[in-house]
Structure 1
Amino acid sequence: MLSGSVPFVYTTERSPEFGLLVPPTLRGREASAYLSYVIEFYDHLPEYSIFVHAFPEQWHNDLFGPYTLNTLRNIRLQAIDAYGYVNLRCQHNPGCPTSVYPLSPSQADIENHDIRAYFANAYQQIFNVTSDKVPGAIGNVCCGQFAVSRDRIRARPKEDYQRILDWAATTELTNDFGVGWVLEKLWHIIFGMDAV
């Protein structure tokens, strides 16, 4: 753990362990926990917030091995200062250069009712925008482990995060897994980065 850091441990288990924080919805895997933290602590955020999965070993961790502790020990705060948002994964595969084409889903996605077929609709609801604001391509480094500066989080009003959490809790476009997958594709955009 980084010196001086304070962990906020959320669970999305149906029967939570005593002492763990529980988001208002269990849909979306870690996304509901991340959004709950941002909403709850929006006015009292530390300079940096680091969002990671709970288990000490993750396949998402790459450059420094599978252990999250090694990834955390190697975070460069200067990178967070420079970009505002930094994905903790270093390899670009999967997800880069593009991984979602919201305006042109495949026929297979449409036939299988995959969330990719409804991604443009999800994007409009999440960001409260019209269809002309949906990007044609989205590319991002995979997965839901990243670091964000306080200023970058606050560049978006608290109400936006509440709307996104409400979407996660109520959307009928996809299931629990799909909610988390959609937000994994959007964290970088939510925190002010370009679509690709």
Structure 2
Amino acid sequence: ILPDNTTASGARIFRGREGHHYPVPGNCSGACGPCVGKCYDDCVDFFAFNDSSKEQACKGCVAEDNGCMRKEAAACGRCIGKVCGNGGPDCPQQPPAFVSVSKAVARQRGRTSEHCVELRGEIQEWEREHFDAGGDPTVSFFQGEQHHGRQHLMHASLANTDIAVARSREDTSWSQYLQDKGARVTVEAASSAASDEAGAFLRFLVDNYDSQRNVSVFLHGHAPTDWHSPGDLLDMVSRIDPDKLLKLGGYASLNLGQYRDQGGAVGAQDALTQYRMDCLWKDRLWVKLMRKRWGIQDGDFSSWAGYCCAQFALHRDTVRSYPKEFYQSLLETLTEPHGWGHDSYKSLGRAMEYLWHVIFTGKPIREKHYAEADFTYDV
């Protein structure tokens, strides 16, 4: 007969504060030792399985018991989350909220791969231990599973150019300057609820798919004076050479002084980018089409980089290399309800900054470097 505090495999069991019997996996006995018999029950649910209903109970217990401090509880949770992400004979029973989310994710992509579980755990770990500046900091990513420059224009006619301006509250009267040169200017409303400028740009692509001009330029509401814009932005726009642009791949960033990679990732953005592309969004039509076109595989987003802040030019042929349904599917993804704002690392607008070049030019996921002269007329 086994003692009442062990399992057949020898894992310890103890009675939690609410009378639950939770085992301690052997691989986690060291990490969980300080909290065994104290705050373990609630903190396992919160730190290991992201059960937000146990957050206050765990934090309250940790605050009362110096033997089980927050760092010990978090370390224990990390261990159990890693060892018991898919359950096991010596693992605590996963709370219903965790199980339901796991099943939903599994249905979405057929099965939960070890790769996706690890990425999910990395994101959850960061969220438990950090404050997210954007939007409501209590909203977990998984809950419910962001001077006109020089005035001379060498090629003044923009008769074959569309300008899409994503406006939040900015004064966009500067765009009249481009309109006077022949550009067709469309101002689209942008908001954090609709993925900032990304949602506005996608609406333009969907609405104008069949009537798009040869070149489309996508700008922010305060483009000429934005911190990431070059001083001669409007001059650059006026000198875009459609043939050079197409030769470059049909896509070019206009923020050539702002190149970012994983070293500048915000929060858990690195793992989240991989999780979205390899797991959460994998079965979306737009992701399937993009992966098929460019031969993108799971793990390709483990290394990413590009010109930041999403101001760019597109050739019409490049846009139409995808069917209209591609952009409709992507727009649906970007406009799904969420609880975070512009400054959050979870912002969809932020995510799209490192996806635009992949969508239109494919690999490498780390965007190649190029210069203004590669897509503009010679001065």
TM-score by length of 2: 0.40
- 2:352 alignment partner, one of 183, 191, 196: 183
Change beyond 3 A, Cα 1:25–1:45: farther
1:139 aligns with 2:340: no
* Structure 2 runs not aligned, ≥5 long: 1-155, 170-185, 367-379
Look up the match of 1:118: 272
Residue pairs, 1:1-196, within 5 angstroms? 2-4=157-159, 5-12=161-168, 21-22=188-189, 26-55=193-222, 56-62=224-230, 65=231, 67-83=232-248, 84-91=250-257, 93-95=258-260, 99-100=261-262, 114-124=268-278, 125=281, 127-128=287-288, 132=298, 134-170=300-336, 172=338, 175-177=341-343, 178-194=347-363, 195-196=365-366
Contact 1:49/1:149, CA 8 A, preserved across alignment: yes
Structure 1 residues 134, 50: closer, same or farther in 2, change over 3 A? Answer: same
Taking the aligned partners of 2:192 and 2:211, their CA distance within structure 1 comes to: 22
> Residues 116-160 of structure 1, C-alpha deviation per residue, up to 9 Å, x if partnerless?
332122224161469726432122122211111111111122222
Q: Which amino acid is the alignment partner of residue 120 of structure 1?
A: Q
Distance 1:156 1:33, change over 3 A: same
Q: Which runs of 5+ in 1 are unaligned?
A: 14-18
Q: Determine if contact 1:61/1:68 at 8 Å carries over to the other structure.
A: yes
CA distance in 2, matches of 1:70, 1:169: 33
For residues 357 and 162 of structure 2, what CA distance do their matches in structure 1 show? 23
Mapped partners of 1:193, 1:137: distance in 2: 14
Q: Can you list the C-alpha shifts for 1:49-75, whole angstroms capped at 9, x where unaligned?
A: 11111223222223xx1x532331343
Q: After superposition, what is the alpha-carbon deviation per residue over 1:58-104, rounded to whole angstroms, capped at 9, x for unaligned?
A: 22223xx1x5323313433332121211111223x432xxx149xxx
Indicate the percent of aligned positions where both proteins have the same amino acid.
Answer: 24
Describe the shift of the 1:134–1:2 C-alpha distance in structure 2 as closer, same or farther (beyond 3 A). farther
Question: What is the CA–CA distance in structure 2 between the aligned matches of 1:169 and 1:148, rounded to whole Å?
Answer: 22
Indicate conservation of the 8 Å contact 1:48/1:147, yes or no: yes
How much is the aligned-residue C-alpha RMSD, in angstroms? Answer: 3.2
Label 1:154 to 1:2 Cα distance change in 2 as closer, same or farther (>3 A).
same
Misfit runs of 4+, over 6 Å: none
1:182 Cα shift? 0.3
Normalized per residue, the structure richer in strand is 2
Q: How many residues align?
A: 175
Distance change (3 Å), C-alpha of 1:40 and 1:170: same
How far has the Cα of 1:192 moved from its partner?
Answer: 2.7
Contact 1:87 1:145 in 2 (8 A): yes
Q: Is the 8 A contact 2:262 2:303 kept in 1?
A: yes
Higher RCO (Cα < 8 Å, 6 or more apart): 1
Q: Report the equivalent of 1:16.
A: none
Whole-angstrom CA distance in 1 between matches of 2:338 and 2:191: 17
Deviation at 1:183, TM superposition (A): 0.3
The alignment partner of 1:140 has SS state of: strand
Decide whether aligned partners of structure 1 residues 133 and 45 sit closer, same or farther in structure 2, where only a CA change above 3 A counts.
farther
Change (3 A) 1:94 1:54: same
